[in-house]
Structure 1
Amino acid sequence: MALCRAWRALFIFLLPLIFTLPLLLSVFELHQKPIQQEQKRNFPKKSDHLILGPAAGQGLPKRLQCEGLKAMNLIILPSSQKNLDTSEKVSFVSVFTVYNTSHRTELESINENFDSKVIVGSTSYTRTERSMAILKTFINFIQVSMPRSCIFLLTDPAAELTIDRNNVTLFPILGDYARGQLMLQRIRSYIVFLESRLQQKHEMQNSINHYIFTDSDVAIVNDLGHLFKNYPDFHLALTFRNNKDQPLNSGFIAVRGTPDGIRKSKIFLEEVLEIYSSKYINASRMLGDQLALAWVVRSHLSFITEHFRKPEAFSAEIKGASVLFLPCAIFNWTPPEGAGQFHGMPLNVQVVHFKGSRKRLMLESWNYYNKTSSIPDMLCLILRSGRTKYDF
């Protein structure tokens, strides 16, 4: 009898363990898994090759029409840079740096382990090699569309960066190029660069060098010299879209290369930097520059929102500077990523911006252009591939 009671007590004691042991083992196993596996779950699967879908905008007026990867209507090309005076030219300016392992955060190092190599065409790239490939492609497109143009790369003096290309100049500027501060540093670098141009007034006496500040993940697909010819009165040009919170995109800023244009553009950007630092510093990694741009413009132009709803260029004065507003649909067109309404590509598109993971598409587009030597057909490739999330 006593033995039965002892077995019963032992059974009652062990019963909770029987039910909880699997749970305890699962928790233990979870904690033993490498942190990399947990981080990997947070990243959605993206395509590692081009996926062609239907070309949006088919049948719509003034939109690129494609049959397969063949453009079926003529691209509308504005008058080219040759219509500028011979004493004028256009240069491009972009901020670019490279990061070694000491700059990487723990999470970035984990991601690097997951995604150490990416293959585009027949070439395999590491993360750093991808950045350099994008930069070289950016330069390639400019040298095809605007071969007379020079390119200035504003960079960290400590960066291990070398570029052996014609008409490309490294321009070191001291600052904080950490990933979390790069957008803030970009505005600072633009201001320093413009100040350096003002200090070289003697060079402006016989010639004018206009400047277009862009991200390095853009493709210039047409000669932009016509901007400064067809709109002769602006000092500074910005691109806009019909977006309530972020109507202005900082990936394309044009500055007229006269002393007055450079000075007034510098003053404008100094106000943007002040607002960025005081109101949007928590968004310094992303979007802060666009929020600051919108705040500055709206604080001076209360009527501006109505103009942003129509994709037509217009001008306005801000603190003595004539600001030209250009539609993103033409001068900063971005392939849509994922779902959403999309009405195709305007026939007069000038700049394609490969934001985010679209950078694979940028490299693939250049590879395709090398095969075809056709910008319109290449635009069909971009148009048909733009909805896919790629592995960059």
Structure 2
Amino acid sequence: MEERHKQLNKKFDHLVLGHMAGQGLANRLQCQGTKALNRTHSSERRSGVDGSITFVTVFTIYNTSLNDVDDRSNRVVVNASYNKFGRSMALLNVFINFIQLAMPQSKVIILTDPVSDLSVQRNRVSLYPIQGEYSRDKLMLQRIRSYITFLETRLQQLSQKPTDVIHYIFTDSDIAVVDDLGHVFRDHPNFHLALTFRNNKAQPLNSGFIAVKGTQEAMLRAKLFLQEVLKVYSTKYRNASRMLGDQLALAWVVMSKPHFDVRRFSKALAFSEDVGGTSVLFLPCSLYNWTPPEGAGQFHGLPLDVKVVHFKGSRKRLMLESWNFYSSYRDISDMLCLILGSGRTKYDF
């Protein structure tokens, strides 16, 4: 009985295509295996502003070298084997790969602990050390602190030497940008900060994608907004500091404001709202933070105009597999079919 239980819970070492939600629905990706029967609405014409966009993520590595291989932690992805360090670095590099594929003129800044062993030699990618507490139990809190520190530094630089406007997109490092995001800033000229939402009463906002316009006013308002989120996080949700606390704090800050209509989260349409003096643009997760199945709001398939795929939790292996698949076949739509069909596979690192 025990042996049978172990077999049922055994994680696959390869992807297994399963049922693909959204088949037969309009404006959803239709697949036959890993072959797309229709095409995603990827931008054939660039927005023209990706050179003024910088992606910012928090990432750190400790006390590990490429030669330290723990056989028990090794996992095979296609034809590659990774130890814990190599695995983390592979994910970071794939994160960068997707950005440079979709938005080749954009830059990436990695906020990291000054004592981290991290070294990244990539074009248009730079490290930005920020002192703080980067332990796993406090990383989500530190992430918000790092965002605030980064914005404070940029505001100071802007006040001393005005430069061309640079917009910032703060993201988790387990996302894949699969389309140009420049239109967010072009088509919505008046927001300060953008968040992604889903139809989930307990956790309607996800912190894995936060866009900030590069004007002085917008960065100041975004900094003040994140400071309020950090205060709520540190007081009301400190017991959830390892995970979810940031999302709960975001929701509290937004939904506690008078006259905010939470019913707007039930429709996957972008909208703007003044939240304590900050103009917040709300973007639907279904397009800007889509997660392979097993997440709320993802059961109706993959929209053809999806911009960002978020490989949360156990989906990180799928992120590496997806890039390997794309590298072999060079087709975003077919790669998205792989993601859609593999979303419920039980695998993990």
TM category, shorter: over 0.9
CA gap of 1:246–1:341, structure 2 versus 1, over 3 A, is: closer
* CA shift in 2, pair 1:303/1:318, >3 Å: closer
Q: Which of 14, 20, 24 matches 1:59?
A: 24
SS in 1 for 2:119: coil
Q: Structure 1: how far apart are the matches of 2:296 and 2:272? A: 33
Q: How many residues align?
A: 340
Structure 2 Cα separation of the partners of residues 339 and 167 of structure 1: 34
Equivalent positions of 1:146-185 (< 5 A) are 146-185=103-142
Q: What amino acid is the match of 1:298? A: M
The answer to whether the 8 A contact 1:191-1:266 is kept is: yes
CA distance in 2, matches of 1:325, 1:145: 22
Alpha carbon RMSD of aligned pairs, Å? 2.3
The residue aligned with 1:108 is none
Cα shift readout 1:14-65 (whole Å, capped 9, x = no counterpart): xxxxxxxxxxxxxxxxxxxxxxxxxxx8x94322211111322110011001
Alignment correspondent of 1:374: 331
Quote how far apart the aligned CAs of 1:113 are.
6.9
Report the counterpart of residue 7 of structure 1 in structure 2: none
- Corresponding position of 1:26: none
Contact 1:80 1:226 in 2 (8 A): no
Task: Provide the residue aligned with 2:308 in structure 1.
Answer: 351
C-alpha contact 1:204 1:258 (8 A) present in aligned 2: no
User: Residue 73 of structure 1 corresponds to which residue in structure 2?
Assistant: 38
Which residue of the other structure, out of 137, 141, 144, is the alignment partner of 1:187?
144
User: SS at 1:326's partner residue?
Assistant: strand
Matched, 1:100 2:100: no
TM value normalised by structure 1: 0.82
For the Cα contact (< 8 Å) 1:331–1:350, is it kept in 2? Answer: yes
Distance 2:79 2:330 in 1: 19
> 2:148 is aligned with what amino acid?
I
Q: Is 1:143 the equivalent of 2:100? A: yes
Contact preservation (8 Å) 1:337, 1:389: no
Q: Which moved more, 1:116-125 or 1:197-206?
A: 197-206
Among 303, 307, 310, the residue aligned to 2:260: 303
Q: Which residue of the partner structure matches residue 225 of structure 1? A: 182
Shift of 1:204: 7.0
TM-score by length of structure 2 reads: 0.92
Alpha-carbon distance in 2 for matches of 1:98, 1:293: 27
Equivalents in 2 of 1:350, 1:204: separation in Å? 33
Which residue does 2:200 correspond to in 1?
243
Unaligned runs of 5+ in 1: 1-40, 102-111
Aligned 8 A contact 2:286 2:297 in 1: no
1:82 CA drift (Å):
3.6
* Percent identity over paired residues: 61
Question: Aligned letter for 1:90?
Answer: I
Match in the other structure for 2:14? 49
Aligned residue identity for 2:174: D
Contact 2:198 2:296 in 1 (8 A): no
Secondary structure of residue in 2 paired with 1:300: coil
- Give the aligned residue type for 2:306: V
**1:206: Cα distance to partner?**
4.3
Equivalent residue for 1:335? 292
Alignment match of 2:89 (pick from 132, 144, 161)? 132
In structure 1, give the amino acid aligned to 2:83: T
- Opposite residue 45 of structure 1, the aligned amino acid is K
Pair 1:364-2:321 in alignment: yes
Matches of 2:71 and 2:313, distance apart in 1: 18
Q: Partner of 2:109: helix, strand, or coil? A: strand
1:339, CA displacement in angstroms? 11
Cα separation, 1, equivalents of 2:19 and 2:72:
29
- In our comparison, the structure showing a higher alpha carbon Rg is 1
Q: Which residue of 2 aligns with 1:211?
A: 168
For the residues of structure 2 that align with 1:339 and 1:324, how far apart are their CA atoms? 21
Q: Quote the offset at 1:121 in angstroms.
A: 1.1
User: What amino acid is the match of 2:116?
Assistant: A
Name whichever structure is richer in helix by fraction. Answer: 1
Q: In 2, are the aligned partners of 1:338 and 1:389 still within 8 Å (CA)?
A: no
Aligned to 1:29: none
Judge conservation of contact 1:183–1:285 (CA < 8 Å) in 2. yes
1:252 matches 2:217:
no
CA–CA distance in 2 between the matches of 1:76 and 1:383?
16
Partner of residue 387, structure 1: 344
Task: Note if contact 2:292-2:298 (Cα within 8 Å) is conserved in structure 1.
Answer: no
Gaps of 5+ in 2: 1-5
Who is 2:3 aligned against?
Answer: none
Helix, strand or coil: the match of 2:254? helix
Deviations 1:70-103, CA, capped at 9 Å, x for gaps: 111121235854433x9x61110000001337xx
Matched residues in 1 for 2:27 and 2:243: separation? 33
